[in-house]
Amino acid sequence: MVNSKYHFLYKLVIIEEKSLKAWGKIMNSKSNEVNIILISDSVGDTAFNLMGAACAQFPNGQFNYRRYPFITDLKKLDKVLDEVKDYPNKIIAFTLVHEEQVLAVIKWSRENGAKYVDLLSDVIADVHNITGMEPSGQVGAVHNLTKKYFDRISAMEFAVMYDDGKDPKGFLEADVVLLGVSRTSKTPLSLFLANKNLKVANLPLVPQTHIPEEIYQIDSRKIIGLTNDPQVLNTIRRERMISYGLNPDTAYSNINSINHELDAADRLYKKLNCYVINVAHRSIEETAALIMEHLGIHDFQK
């Protein structure tokens, strides 16, 4: 039999406002501007990421994110709710673990006609119902300073140390080695994957440049070859030169030179028999997901 407290909370939060109907109703109104109020008892990244993913379904919307982190007691919560009371077209999204705060937000939202989304309670209640385990009620539990946290910091330092092939020995120590011509997202991918506790080294492929012997000594499964569409790469490189106040029409952005670079990279990838990803029109997150799937790593395993 489920604990009556969690059963009550579980029933209370199953309402229509938690679904995308809240967005739909607002986006169908005269204004496409929505104020997203993010309330968290920790840093608020979970709420921001989830709401950002949902709001991305409305490309014509204008979303104003207002974050209120470390709201750990009712006094702080009351202050936030009073501050946001007059915001029009608002959705209150919250990640709060203490029942009194959850109920306070729900009660206030109902009394003031505000849409709200409880991002944690349903999941906590479901896990409790399935396992019988009691939730710890610990604020910011996902950010605990565990061994994995320090491993992540170490991976970030590794990615910086071995960015752009600074030291070839990094290729031998890395979990993943990224290869690619200029502007194929090697560095941002390295840092993103490092945040997943992976040690990543990368090597820029420059025409007529010697490939370090270490590249041929590592397991080809760990090597990821990044490529891009010539026209996309041409546009990116031209824009980069313009942003520096330089002439955009150089060998760096020349379409023939780009084709030559990509062909050379493709020959190397075939020689190494490595996994190849075309990053054109892909976000860093999408490319990283393909890499982790290739490596058999499940991001949800914390």
Domain annotation covers residue 300: no
Condensed to tens digits (0 to 9), the pLDDT of residues 124-135 reads: 888 888 998 888
Condensed to tens digits (0 to 9), the pLDDT of residues 167-201 reads: 999 999 999 999 999 999 999 999 999 989 999 99
* Separation in Å, CA 17 to CA 53, 130, 223, 266, 302: 17, 25, 46, 50, 30
- Give me 245's structure tokens: 């106040």
Condensed to tens digits (0 to 9), the pLDDT of residues 89-105 reads: 999 999 998 888 998 99
Domain limit, last residue, from 142, 160, 193: 142
pTM for the model = 0.61
Cα-atom radius of gyration of the chain, to the nearest Å?
A: 24
Q: Show the domain range for 44.
A: 4-142
Q: What is the pLDDT of residue 152?
A: 82
Same domain, 151 and 129: no
Contact between 117 and 90 under an 8 Å Cβ cutoff? The reply is: no
Round to whole Å and give the CA distance between 24 and 28: 6
Domain annotation covers residue 251: yes
Same domain, 30 and 94: yes
Round to whole Å and give the CA distance between 227 and 293: 18
Same domain, 59 and 160: no
CA end-to-end span of the chain: 29
Indicate the number of domains in the chain: 2
Residue given tokens 């999408």 in the structure block: 286
* Mean residue pLDDT across the chain: 86
> CATH number, domain at 158?
3.40.50
Contact between 182 and 237 under an 8 Å Cβ cutoff? The reply is: yes
Q: In this structure, what are the phi and psi dihedrals at residue 160, rounded to the nearest 5 degrees?
A: -70, -40
